[in-house]
Structure 1
Amino acid sequence: MGAFVTHVQSAIPSVAEGIHQIYHDAQILEEQRFADFHVALERPASHRRWLRPQVIFRFDGYTPFKPLPVNQAFALFEWGLNWCITTHAHQYLIIHAAVIEKEGFAAILPAPPGSGKSTLTAGLVNRGWRLLSDELGLISKAGLIQPVARPVSLKNESIEVIRHFASEACIGRVVKDTLKGTVSHMRAPTESVVRAHEQARPAWVVFPKFDTGTAATLKPMAPAQAFLGLARNAFNYSLLAEDGFRRLATLMDTTTAYSFHYGNLEEAASVFNALAEQQRAYG
């Protein structure tokens, strides 16, 4: 998981299946090694475990979430890891954003749920971009992006969109009726996992929005507007106080901001590839 080591315990088959399939390229370390996060996914010890099987997520013995149906165990594992990072990794400014990289330049894609961020990310990393993160943009004090090359979360229609767009993509078990709808996870490309120790310098901040039938359109955004958008999507901007402000200000000084509307992944890939080529030529 890039900068983080996670110790996982679970006797639930779908968790083991998901880790084996979706974290196939992750490095397995000796059990005695230090871990940033110690987590467990367990069946509750009550009579309801037989009537309505459930799963709970534990972090160092603490249970931060309500139990969920046991068929959502792997999804809960992913959501729980997001919680672990956002509540503990305050050495970084943490933005709710995907981050991808090509030709040495990274694009930060901040967006609220339903914007098409993960669909766009899954499409681009299957067209030559390196996945740094699908959910959490981690910005160091030096202004670099720390990769966390974990699975890409796909929801509802985006699952089939990516199946058709990238038939070679490894997509895990589909789980219906979660709080986020129908969900699944796409394995991070092998190269992205292998290179998870390589930080990247951000070049663009792009706010994506999927609109059915819309031509791919990239429009410049005022730095002040982009700054506010990033601040709204940051988990610990207020906690970091002046340091958080400085990191965002530096980010705005060293990147170009855009809004991006798209309705077709092939068109979106062409726009982003042209952006990378332009940056390589003139950057």
Structure 2
Amino acid sequence: MVEDATLGRTPSASELLAAASFDHHIGPCRVFSQRFELRTNDPGVAGLLSELYAAMLEDPGGGDHLDVGASAAAAAEVPVAADAGAGSLVPDPTVYRLLHPSDDAAGVVARDDEVLVTSPRPATLLGRLVWAINRQVIDGTTDRLLLHAGAVDLEGAGVVIPAEMESGKTTLVTGLLDRGFGYLTDEAASVSAELVLEGYAKPLSIDPGSWEVLAHHDPALGAELAPYLERQWQVPAQRIAPVVRRSRLEMIVFRRYEPDTPTRIDPVSPGTAVRLAVGSTFVTDREHLALDRLHELASICEQVPAYELVGDDLGAACDLVVAELARIRRV
């Protein structure tokens, strides 16, 4: 990075932000009660972000299913319905800015007036932006039961997939999308005692360990934007399947990835399902999970059949989920 010719020093991140023109806006976007807007100084980055966050754009008149096109321009025009009802107080959106790095200056990601990261590496910038939006949605959503889970839909039947990190959750979700399921989330799912399933329809975050098995979903960006995805693919779900706003929960699948283990799906009791689900809530002190949320979890697990899916074979795992969901729907 070059030094500031006037001051004889490297410009700070705040100075870099102040000197830039953030003429490209995406949003406002909304997830549950959380609102945010994205701004950048680069039209190519704007196109990328428009496609990644198309499914969260506000539109009070929208429907439950999104048939979003593959191009960034088309994606930006197909929004999802907001959750706020008439007369609801709507908070101002959090503003995220991504300053594209240049040959002589690092890039910056900021949340409102707070600098989150400064780096010359585009992948670091996008990774931090995605992480920050995830944290806003997860930490800010306190009015509902939220699980660390993927979620998919097949003809109105919802499947929620709670799992720990690095358990193959996103890989399984993507595999099910390839089988014709609709997408709700690969990160955070809301479930009510009435079995209404809703998801945070973020882009699918596919780690390098799954790039080979999901090679057909390589984003294949041009040379200018490819560095943004060199550490982790961010794939707009609408490239693969329809994005679904809500579904009715019919099946709970606790995913446990075990290398070199034959893939199997085992039913679990409601009590075991509650115990496993508590481990997938976004609560730091799980011993003090709010009593009403615990009762809600218990009610859900009493009503919905639950399973543990173990193993490392994606094709077999998808086959088992599809077959078991079909059996449940026939009962």
TM-score (normalizing by structure 1): 0.78
User: Distance between the aligned counterparts of 1:146 and 1:246, measured in 2?
Assistant: 19
Q: Are the structure 2 counterparts of residues 68 and 118 from structure 1 closer, same or farther at C-alpha, using a change threshold of 3 Å?
A: farther
Aligned to 2:37: 7
Rg bigger for which structure? 2
Aligned to 2:203: 151
Q: How does 1:124-273 map to 2 (within 5 A)?
A: 124-140=176-192, 142-163=194-215, 167=216, 170=219, 173=226, 182-189=231-238, 192-193=242-243, 195-196=244-245, 199-236=246-283, 241-273=290-322
**What letter is aligned with 1:216?**
T
User: Distance between the aligned counterparts of 1:49 and 1:235, measured in 2?
Assistant: 38
Could you say what secondary structure the match of 2:214 adopts? Answer: helix
Number of residue pairs aligned between Structure 1 and Structure 2: 263
Aligned to 1:39: 95
Q: Are the structure 2 counterparts of residues 13 and 232 from structure 1 closer, same or farther at C-alpha, using a change threshold of 3 Å?
A: farther
**What letter is aligned with 1:146?**
E
Any conservation in 1 of the 2:117–2:128 contact (CA below 8 Å)? no
5+ residue gaps in structure 1? none
Could you say what secondary structure the match of 1:270 adopts? Answer: helix
TM-score (normalizing by structure 2): 0.68
Any conservation in 1 of the 2:106–2:118 contact (CA below 8 Å)? no
Any conservation in 1 of the 2:217–2:235 contact (CA below 8 Å)? no
Any conservation in 1 of the 2:109–2:129 contact (CA below 8 Å)? no
Q: How does 1:100-139 map to 2 (within 5 A)?
A: 100-139=152-191
Any conservation in 1 of the 2:156–2:247 contact (CA below 8 Å)? yes
User: Distance between the aligned counterparts of 2:170 and 2:79, measured in 1?
Assistant: 26
**What letter is aligned with 1:71?**
P
Match of 2:113 among 38, 43, 61: 61
Q: Which has the higher contact order (CA 8 A, sep 6+)?
A: 1
Aligned to 1:71: 122
5+ residue gaps in structure 2? 1-29, 55-71, 81-89
User: Distance between the aligned counterparts of 1:49 and 1:62, measured in 2?
Assistant: 21
Any conservation in 2 of the 1:215–1:267 contact (CA below 8 Å)? no
Q: Are the structure 2 counterparts of residues 127 and 247 from structure 1 closer, same or farther at C-alpha, using a change threshold of 3 Å?
A: same
Any conservation in 2 of the 1:123–1:265 contact (CA below 8 Å)? yes
RMSD of aligned residue pairs (Cα, Å): 3.2
Q: How many Å apart are 1:5 and its aligned residue?
A: 4.9
Any conservation in 2 of the 1:108–1:137 contact (CA below 8 Å)? yes
Any conservation in 2 of the 1:103–1:276 contact (CA below 8 Å)? no
Could you say what secondary structure the match of 1:200 adopts? Answer: strand
Q: Are the structure 2 counterparts of residues 51 and 168 from structure 1 closer, same or farther at C-alpha, using a change threshold of 3 Å?
A: closer
**What letter is aligned with 1:247?**
E
Any conservation in 2 of the 1:132–1:192 contact (CA below 8 Å)? no
Residue deviations 1:131-159, cap 9 Å, x none? 11110011246441123322111102212
